[in-house]
Amino acid sequence: MSVSAVKNAPLSSVLNTFSQPGFKKWKGRSPLNVINPFENLQLRQRMPKCLIVGFAKCGTYALKSFLSLHPNLICAENETQFFSRFYFKGFAWYKRQMPFSSEHQITVEKTPSYAESKLALQRIHAFNSSIKLIVIVRDPVTRLQSSYAHFLARNKDPKLNFTFREWCGDNESIIHKIDYYSHLVNIYGLFDRDQVLVLSEEDLEADPFGVMQQVARFVGLKTAFTKDVFVFNSRKGFYCINTNNSKYKDVTTHIKTDPITGCLKKSKGRSHPNVDKSFLRHLASIALPHNENLFHIINKRFPWTTVEYFETMNS
Ligand SMILES: Nc1ncnc2c1ncn2[C@@H]1O[C@H](COP(=O)(O)OS(=O)(=O)O)[C@@H](OP(=O)(O)O)[C@H]1O
């Protein structure tokens, strides 16, 4: 809604705009992100110009939440799964899932399953061939443990009380779960390299500020923070938003963090169950060639666990 439209519209329709689903993002926005609607010229729902397309359990929620701190980035609250599951609902529906944004903001949507669907990637390309894509990966062995911890936390059916080994399944099913490479092939087959940013969960965990700077550069924005935006919380074992700094205190209202600690919700950063080290070694050996292919195609290496690492440990 433009300023002139706001000025000329009946009060009820202006209020109606503010009560639409996507507008709830504006309630309680951080001081960094608040834009006075009457000063702002173009408050409306906009299609995303950047998508976080993968991968589940690789820190996608932390990434999205931390990016929302940037005044010029605004993230859709939910994973819409539009290009994968709900394409039939149409673009008007998709747009309605987006938050209200100003003309100075870039809308970001995250649905981690997009990267694993060639059809979803083709649809994204047809939608906007110059869109920016962010992919975040993680040591596949740790990712499996994370997914298993997620499964245990969610599973209520005693019949599905699988051990880690059972849950991982046979080698074919393990490869399916650990292979990022083949999905990256699909992405690079459709999009130019400069449209794709590949990050790692390990970097996000160790240096969220550095990763946010990387993303800001990637989407053509300046960094809007100082390093003190995050503070390491030894109890949680992760960086959290620095609520001691008045500048960042209120952000917890719009990115679902603990208002006191500034940490992400409990389901993010779970402890992983103890599992048999010899099986982890087996997983690392299966992952190895797929990791090497990935490092080759993205032209970047991550120091992920090797078979040798497990050989130095007692099982
Ligand atoms: N700062 C911070 N705080 C909390 N958690 C963090 C953070 N940075 C990265 N991570 C890692 O994010 C992992 C969850 O990944 P996702 O959000 O992609 O999971 S999901 O697919 O949406 O369920 C989650 O995995 P688990 O540790 O297995 O829970 C975390 O390791």
Measured in degrees and rounded to the nearest 5, phi and psi for residue 44 equal -160, 170
CA distances from 240 to 85, 137, 207 (A): 32, 20, 11
Q: Please name which of 228, 230, 235, 234 lies closest in space to residue 262, comparing C-alpha atoms.
A: 230
Question: Is a pLDDT exceeding 60 seen at residue 7?
Answer: no
pLDDT of residue 9: 38
pLDDT tens-digit series, residues 147-192: 999 999 999 888 888 999 999 999 999 999 999 999 999 999 999 9
Whole-number CA gyration radius for the chain: 21
Helices in the chain by DSSP H: which ranges?
3-8, 11-18, 60-67, 90-96, 118-127, 140-154, 164-168, 171-178, 181-190, 201-206, 208-218, 246-249, 277-298, 307-311
Note whether 298 and 184 are within 8 A (CB): yes
* Catalytic option among 57, 64, 110, 132: 57
Between the CA of 11 and the centroid of ligand 1 the distance, in Å, is 43
Furthest-apart CA pair in the chain: how many Å? Answer: 73
Strand partners, 3: none
262 lines ligand 1 (CB under 6 A): no
Top mutation candidate among 60, 61, 212 for ligand 1, by most atoms within 8 Å of CB: 61
* 222-259 pLDDT per residue, tens: 988 888 999 999 999 999 999 888 877 767 666 788 88
Which atom of ligand 1 is the closest one to the Cα of 201?
A: 9
What is the structure's pLDDT at 44?
95
Residues forming beta bridges with residue 257, ordered by sequence position: 264
Q: Rounded distance, CA 178 to CA 155, Å? A: 22
Rounded to the nearest angstrom, the distance between the alpha carbon of 213 and the centre of ligand 1 is: 19
pLDDT in tens, 251-283: 766 678 888 899 999 999 999 999 999 999 999
Q: At 86, list the tokens.
A: 């709900």
Band of residue 1 on the pLDDT scale cut at 50, 70, 90? very low
Nearest 5 degrees, angle CA 275-CA 281-CA 285?
140
pLDDT of 123-155, one tens digit each? 999 999 999 999 999 999 999 999 999 999 999
Instruction: Kindly state if the Cβ of 205 falls inside 6 Å of ligand 1.
Output: yes
Q: Pick the residue with more confidence: 187 or 28?
A: 187
Expressed in angstroms and rounded, the spacing between residue 242 Cα and the centre of ligand 1 is 18
Q: Is the CB of 146 under 6 A from ligand 1?
A: yes
Contact status, residue 214 vs residue 207, Cβ threshold 8 Å: no
User: Smallest Cα–Cα separation from 220: which of 86, 297, 130, 280?
Assistant: 130
What is the distance between the alpha carbons of residues 284 and 306, in angstroms, rounded to a whole number? 6
Q: What's the token pair of residue 18? A: 């503010």
Counting atoms of ligand 1 from 1, which one is nearest the CA of 61?
Answer: 17
Q: Where are the domains of the chain?
A: 3-311
What ipTM score was computed for the predicted complex, to two decimals?
A: 0.99
| N-terminal to C-terminal alpha carbon distance within the chain | 62
Give me ligand 1 centre to Cα 201, in Å.
Answer: 8
| CATH match for 3-311 among 1.10.1040.50, 3.40.50.720, 3.40.50.300, 3.30.565.10 | 3.40.50.300
3-state secondary structure 242-279: CCCCHHHHHHHHCCCECCCCCCECCCCCCCCCCCCHHH
Binding residues for 3'-phosphoadenylyl sulfate: 138, 146, 239, 268-272
Going by alpha carbons, the residue nearest to atom 8 of ligand 1 is: 205
Residue type at 181 in one-letter notation: Y
57 is catalytic: yes
Distance of CA 242 to the CA centre of its chain: 20
The residue nearest atom 13 of ligand 1, judged by CA position, is 59
Sign of the dihedral through C-alpha 30, 94, 211, 259: positive
Is residue 45 pLDDT above 60, yes or no?
yes
